[in-house]
Structure 1
Amino acid sequence: MTAKEKTSFLYVTYIHSTPDKVFEAITRPDLARRYWGHENVSDWQPGSRWEHIRANDQRTVELVGKVIEASPPKRLVMTWTNASQEADPESYSRVSFDIEEYEDMVRLTVAHDELEAGGGMAKGVTKGWPLVLSSLKSFLETGRGLDIFAKPKAA
């Protein structure tokens, strides 16, 4: 068996907010629902399970993983996979949120690595993270997230 090629995704944004508010927006289900349309649910202790649950009537668990590191409000690291692939150790990737003060704002760096190159998850996060993190920025700066489920209009 040959090892699958891995890839990574890196996104950096600046948010007029505080590290505490950014960390809370990622980890508090009631806040994440307002800009992501999902809730991130965990006790956020290293080794604990986390679930990414669609905030609708079905409350579908879409992604799961384990918390690797939680150092509020500066860093959060967790594994990440589709709920349907939870039993497959090869399917897991890793997401790191690094939150640092930068003048009167926050520099948020999101690194999503250990992704299978060319795989569905890699393709999804390449499109998904910029949209989710733009919505997070809008939410924290204006109180209103973007409609991340809006579809582009056909030309």
Structure 2
Amino acid sequence: MATKVREIMTGSPTSVSPELDIVTVARAMRDEDIGAVLVSDGDDLMGLVTDRDLVIRGLAAGGDPAQVKIGGIASRPTATIGPDDSLDKAAQIMRERAVRRLPVLEDGRAVGIVTLGDLAMEKDEVSALADISAARPNA
């Protein structure tokens, strides 16, 4: 059984420039079949954007989606975790901060993302969340 974040995280997370428009980022998320991207300026993590953020903060806010910059709708990372931190610490941070995704930083650089679903599949594999998280996308 895994005990460290690095054992369950998604490595090599997709990172985008804050200057990209939301349409470009949405297409990248579609093409890569992912629900979240990190927003970075070089190695500096500026935030995280989910598919829900694209809809709520991007499209529903109005304006031309080809002109709205992803940096303007990104959630600032309220918390991060290290790859050698424990899964219990990740769960505690998620609970305290009410977040479902944690960027994983090593030496100040993003090396992964760990999600609530990742934790569920590892810690409680018979839970409904683990079943949903393990299922193939219905695309």
TM-score (norm 1): 0.34
Specify which structure has the higher proportion of strand. 1
TM-score (norm 2): 0.37
